[in-house]
Amino acid sequence: MLKYGMWDLPGLDFFQCRNVFKGSKDNFRFAAFGEDDIKVLYWFGDVCLECAENIEEKHFETSEQSLYDINEFLSSVYKPEN
């Protein structure tokens, strides 16, 4: 794992091999995986991806810079519990 920001994401080669990375913090969940680009799915709640409703998604190009951009994006949509 490389430190790209608040979220410990795997390196670019992980996504280029079409692997799925899942993470969570508090009530926030996300999954990221590579296809033609890196797709990030995110949702709120105490449920797994397969049971989640209201899943949002965002796409990023497959590049090293995108790992920093994904970190910034995840930080922007994460809402800490009080």
pLDDT at 3 over 80: no
pTM of this structure: 0.88
Share of the chain above pLDDT 70, in %: 94
> What gap in Å lies between CA 26 and CA 45, rounded to an integer?
9
Share of the chain above pLDDT 90, in %: 83
pLDDT digits (tens, 9 = 90+) for 35-75: 899 999 999 999 999 999 999 999 999 999 999 999 999 99
For 67, half-sphere exposure in the C-beta direction (CA atoms, 13 angstrom radius) is 18
In the chain, where the domains are located: 2-77
